[in-house]
Amino acid sequence: MKPTTLDEAMALTQKFTTRPSNEELLKLYGLYKQATEGDNEGERPGGFDFKAAAKYMAWLNYKGKSKEEATQAYLELVNELSAKYM
């Protein structure tokens, strides 16, 4: 089943039988945040919070992409990953 909404796509990721790579997970995170909240305007996490910094940078990669474009890219990525991990 090909997802057509963010909610459907998120539900589909929960059915993956294998965990995607960290790189793939960060792409999913960045696209989802861009699709739901728009450009990342927050401050970069400091110190040794590497996970938060990686997520911040993943979201920042999509700065300037419209919510509609980010949604479409997210749906395409989930569809691609579902073929690989289900």
Alpha-carbon distance of 74 to 80, in angstroms, equals: 10
Nearest to 61 by CA among 32, 81, 82, 21: 32
Do the Cβ atoms of 3 and 9 come closer than 8 Å?
A: yes
- Across all residues in the chain, what is the average pLDDT? 95
Tell me which residue has tokens 């509609």.
68
Give mean pLDDT, residues 8-25.
96
- How distant, in Å, are the alpha carbons of 11, 13, 30, 86 from that of 1? 11, 12, 23, 11
Q: What pLDDT score does 47 carry? A: 81
CB atoms within 10 A of CB 77: 18
DSSP state of 19: P
> Domains, the chain, ranges and CATH?
6-85 (1.20.80.10)
Give mean pLDDT, residues 9-33.
97
